[in-house]
Structure 1
Amino acid sequence: MRLPLRLPGSVSARARRRAQRGQAIVLGALSFLVLALMVTLSFNLAHALRQKMGLQQHSDALAYSMAVLEARSLNYYAVSNRGIAASYVAMNSLHAYMAAASVTGEMMRASEKNFKEFERIEYLRCACKGCYEHCLHAREAAQTAADFARAGRSYDKRLRALESSFNAAVRGVDVMVDNLHASQREAHTQTLQAIQDGRSQGLNHLAAETAPDVGALPGAVGGLNANEFNCAVDGMSCRGSVENASPEALARVMTEISNATRSGWPAARKAGGLEGGTRKPKYLHQDFLTELENIAKREYRVTSHEGTAKSVQDKGQVNAGGKQGGNQGTTVAAREEGTIQNTWRYHGLRSSNDYDAEVWSDANGGGHTPGGAHSGSHTFEGVNANALSGCARSGNCFMKFRANPSSDRDWGQPRVYSYLTRPLRVGDPRKAPWELNASARIQLTHGAQGTGSLTLAAQEGVALSKALVYYHRFGANGWREAPNLFSPYWRAKLHPISPDEAVEVLEAAGNTDASRLAKVPGVSL
């Protein structure tokens, strides 16, 4: 029996097959390791992308929400500014009514002067021989003049009793202006806090609902928001915009608006208010007109009568026309004036005399003519008497929009920025097993090849957003109206951020690497 000979160094086919099966196991194990790493890496990437998208959505929502708070504040300033202007209009009307009431005594005294003139003429005629009837007429004229004088004193007395209520009303309106502005300052302070920390005024609920693990808004970024908001209000401390207007210029704005919005009666009471054969000013009380008519025996007519009330620099300017500058509204004044003509029922004699009454309120306590009707004081601080920064509780200030002529500054409309960070990995393998360990990093050793490492998840994500608070009145031509704080048409929207703005925000947040990247031309933000 022949046995097969096996030469030294030869390998059987079965042995070769066994050796090949061993290589397949090793390669398969390595392939499964790579596949496991790829699956783990995909899980990490998906989680990081989800976290990053949530972070960006929250950053956009925060920027928009802060802009909405600013828009609501600016709309409140507009509505309350109208309230302040209406307060000055009300003060003008108060003075107009007081001047109209004060002129009653002066009209009686003007008629008294007319009848004293008749008395003088009759006494001159009484001196002649056989002119005794003129003496009787003189005594009758003197009695009528005395009746008018007594009536004038009576109306002055009534005015003195009324003036205490008038003084209280003036003080009340002046205090109301201060309170309205104090509420504006409080709204401004609370809005500033919210856009600085990103959590006040209910913004913390936004993070709790959408991204509880998000970082806080950096203080320096909040400082940019606060500066932008302050720059929108003339008189506030601001960097990088136009200078503040002077308190006098601010005062002229509100003065002109309050004067322009007066109703017709306090603004101009002219001959249109006269009616009938005796030309009675129809807004004066009928009891007064009846008494005037009875004393004069129906022989009178008001040949002219007018009145006005307005905010002026000096009470002597109350009848002056409007002008472009110089009226800072330090005084609220009213004047009522006219001419009354009496006809003497004997001999066809006529006499005319002027009458006038003034009421004014200023920092010195105001005044009132005729003096017999005046009592007490009615102080008026003046329109925007102090700088806005020192006008928290007094000074009759208001909020005025500070426009900027540069389109790069969005014409002064405030911008709002959000810069937030968020961890992109869980950091706990028990909750996120795809991260493998707390550091989400693995090390590989491959013989002579050395040691390598692989990070499976980024440590932190960053989101940057911008919103714009803008003014737009409703209607087809709404864009043509310049932004202002007298009409409540402020809105908010997300807005593209320019590279220069991104660099400013990133540097404020301390992210120098990203700020250098933002400076590279053509890099998308």
Structure 2
Amino acid sequence: MHLPVLLLSRTRRRIQRGQAIVLGSLSFLVLALMVTLSFNLSHALRQKMSLQQHSDTLSFSMAVLEARALNYYAVSNRAIATSYVAMNSLHAYMSAASLTGEMMRASSNNFMQIALIEFGLCVACEFMCDHCEHIAEAIQIANDFSDAGDDYDDKVKDFESNFNTAMEGLDLMVDNIHTAQRSVHDKTLQAVKDGRSHGLSQLKSYTAPNASELVSAVGSINANEFNCAVDGMECQGSESNSSPEARARVMTEIANATRSGWPATRTSPGMGSPMNKPKYLNAQFFQEMDDIPNNEAQKMINGTRGTAKTVKDNGQLTQGGREGGNEGSMVAAQDEGNITHQWKHGFGFSSFKSEIWSDDSGGDHKGDGAHSGQHRFEGVNVRALTGCAGSGNCFMKFRANPDPDRDWGQPRVYSYLSMRFRVGDTKRAPWELNSSAQVKLTHGQQGDGNLTVAATEGMAMSKSLVYYHRFGDDGWKEAPNLFAPYWRAKLHPYTKGDAQQVLEAAGNSEAAQMSQVEGVAL
């Protein structure tokens, strides 16, 4: 018996009914997983962006702190050099003032020579001529010049107490400036080492509140990089420290080169010039020199010159240019010249010279009659840098490195941070599905499998460079130094060596190995 065709078609449709539900359910499951993954991926990307932004901000902010510190060193180093210039000027004025007594004594010596000439002429005329009277007059004039010299010494001595006070104040100011430099260095060092000090901790609240702190081993790299920028600090992996004497020569040369014209070089016109007397001495002084012999003598002053410098010893005062070995252990000044007198039938010629210097043994002053007390000067950078925080005229000197891979010694600043991306609370993050953010899948005889829909943790690393660049088209031509405040900061790309060093310090050895693979973007 055959069933009707209509009945057969209805039966076949009933058998096929429900297959779309299975496919639809599977599609909805896949769609739900895709939506869940999309939410989790968006959340992870947002967290990653926040973490990377925080890492960049932290690295750049630490670099800015270092740049500000280096600029402070540059400005304060100039203040230290200016202090030495002021010391040179003080010595120049005292030496010039002391020259008055020496010129009077040289004039006294000239008239004693004239007295001897008159004595010879008196003997020649058998004591029966005017020359015999001139002997006594010349000796009296010589005594008057000698007394005037003592008077001028006393006047200079009256100023010596103020001179010593000014020297002590300038010397102490250099100590205080360097103490401030060391304080700035120590505080900056702490900030780049822990990533929290001096306001850096506030960055987290703005960018990534849940981010970790700077890895301590990476902070130690930052501290070493900053130390390596300053000659004399403990440093690994860069140029060795230069000697304290070599550092002293740098500041000594800069201080001497910064002197103004008069303390550096004081000269008078040469012989035969109507203006051959030192212009920096008062006209009243020269009038007194004329009045003592009652304006009856002809005098000529020539060859007058003077200078004041920071030197190793007095012998370097008149040497030009840069002297090798000038460690700046004393500040000294001298003035010298010649004076000639013609009176009656006699002629006298003498040299005069005044000197003053300050050093750690108390210094000295010539002429001796103008000297009182001690002129103390500790010297330029006489101690190792670590021993200068309390005393010693030290300063900060840049430690250059000839290796371009070391950025010529300019400090680099790194950050390495991590952050948990998974919220772990389905009330706040329902897209994670459960506390483990995993979906268990069963596939018959092939067993079970877990699908993780949310990333657990992420990391970010950044690098900044503290670099020197003077303004202007040719600014790059000037080598980095700590005497001009042109230090800046910028984010800088990683090299493979940098990445490996930072990742290994952070304990991420797998990432360190991956960073060395050719073609991996850093």
- 1:269 maps to 266
Alignment partner of 1:223 out of 220, 224, 239: 220
AA in 2 matched with 1:146? N
Are 2:100 and 1:101 equivalent residues in the alignment? no
AA in 1 matched with 2:315? G
> For the Cα contact (< 8 Å) 2:418–2:457, is it kept in 1?
yes
- 1:492 maps to 489
- 1:357 maps to 354
In structure 1, C-alpha distance between the alignment counterparts of 2:59 and 2:52, rounded to whole Å = 11
Could you tell me how far 1:60 is from its partner in structure 2? Answer: 1.4
Deviations 1:412-442 (A, max 9, x none): 1111111111122222211111111222122
AA in 1 matched with 2:78? R
Could you tell me how far 1:64 is from its partner in structure 2? Answer: 1.4
- 1:193 maps to 190
> For the Cα contact (< 8 Å) 1:274–1:281, is it kept in 2?
no
In structure 2, C-alpha distance between the alignment counterparts of 1:278 and 1:44, rounded to whole Å = 92
1:233-252 to 2 correspondence within 5 Å? 233-252=230-249
Are 2:307 and 1:308 equivalent residues in the alignment? yes
SS in 2 for 1:305: strand
Could you tell me how far 1:365 is from its partner in structure 2? Answer: 0.7
AA in 2 matched with 1:32? F
Could you tell me how far 1:142 is from its partner in structure 2? Answer: 2.2
Aligned length: 517
In structure 1, C-alpha distance between the alignment counterparts of 2:216 and 2:74, rounded to whole Å = 29
In structure 2, C-alpha distance between the alignment counterparts of 1:44 and 1:448, rounded to whole Å = 30
AA in 1 matched with 2:33? L
AA in 2 matched with 1:197? D
In structure 2, C-alpha distance between the alignment counterparts of 1:427 and 1:435, rounded to whole Å = 8
> For the Cα contact (< 8 Å) 2:277–2:302, is it kept in 1?
no
The gaps in structure 1 that reach 5 residues or longer are none
In structure 2, C-alpha distance between the alignment counterparts of 1:92 and 1:188, rounded to whole Å = 29
AA in 2 matched with 1:153? D
In structure 1, C-alpha distance between the alignment counterparts of 2:271 and 2:454, rounded to whole Å = 88
In structure 1, C-alpha distance between the alignment counterparts of 2:273 and 2:140, rounded to whole Å = 27
Could you tell me how far 1:499 is from its partner in structure 2? Answer: 1.1
SS in 2 for 1:491: strand
Q: 40-49 vs 22-31, which deviates more?
A: 22-31
Are 2:487 and 1:482 equivalent residues in the alignment? no
Could you tell me how far 1:12 is from its partner in structure 2? Answer: 6.8
Could you tell me how far 1:130 is from its partner in structure 2? Answer: 6.2
Alignment partner of 1:152 out of 126, 138, 149: 149
Return closer, same or farther for 1:221/1:397 CA change in 2, 3 Å cut-off: same
Q: 407-416 vs 286-295, which deviates more?
A: 286-295
- 1:320 maps to 319
Q: TM-score, normalised by structure 1?
A: 0.93
Aligned alpha-carbon RMSD (Å): 2.2
Alignment partner of 2:47 out of 38, 51, 57: 51
Are 2:328 and 1:329 equivalent residues in the alignment? yes
In structure 1, C-alpha distance between the alignment counterparts of 2:187 and 2:128, rounded to whole Å = 87
> For the Cα contact (< 8 Å) 1:300–1:343, is it kept in 2?
yes
Return closer, same or farther for 1:272/1:430 CA change in 2, 3 Å cut-off: farther
In structure 2, C-alpha distance between the alignment counterparts of 1:227 and 1:35, rounded to whole Å = 53
> For the Cα contact (< 8 Å) 1:278–1:300, is it kept in 2?
no
> For the Cα contact (< 8 Å) 2:269–2:302, is it kept in 1?
no
AA in 2 matched with 1:337? E
> For the Cα contact (< 8 Å) 2:51–2:208, is it kept in 1?
yes
Could you tell me how far 1:279 is from its partner in structure 2? Answer: 2.6
SS in 2 for 1:337: strand
In structure 2, C-alpha distance between the alignment counterparts of 1:486 and 1:450, rounded to whole Å = 72
Are 2:87 and 1:91 equivalent residues in the alignment? yes
Identity value in percent? 62
Could you tell me how far 1:85 is from its partner in structure 2? Answer: 1.2
- 1:338 maps to 337
Q: TM-score, normalised by structure 2?
A: 0.94
In structure 2, C-alpha distance between the alignment counterparts of 1:324 and 1:41, rounded to whole Å = 74
> For the Cα contact (< 8 Å) 2:270–2:302, is it kept in 1?
no
SS in 2 for 1:280: coil
Deviations 1:167-201 (A, max 9, x none): 11111111111111111111111111111111212
Q: 90-99 vs 124-133, which deviates more?
A: 124-133
1:43-192 to 2 correspondence within 5 Å? 43-127=39-123, 128-129=125-126, 131=128, 133-192=130-189
Q: 200-209 vs 13-22, which deviates more?
A: 13-22
Are 2:445 and 1:440 equivalent residues in the alignment? no
In structure 2, C-alpha distance between the alignment counterparts of 1:73 and 1:315, rounded to whole Å = 37
- 2:372 maps to 375
In structure 2, C-alpha distance between the alignment counterparts of 1:201 and 1:275, rounded to whole Å = 68
Return closer, same or farther for 1:275/1:123 CA change in 2, 3 Å cut-off: closer
- 2:405 maps to 408
In structure 1, C-alpha distance between the alignment counterparts of 2:14 and 2:372, rounded to whole Å = 123
> For the Cα contact (< 8 Å) 1:273–1:281, is it kept in 2?
no
AA in 1 matched with 2:212? G
AA in 1 matched with 2:436? S
In structure 2, C-alpha distance between the alignment counterparts of 1:170 and 1:368, rounded to whole Å = 14
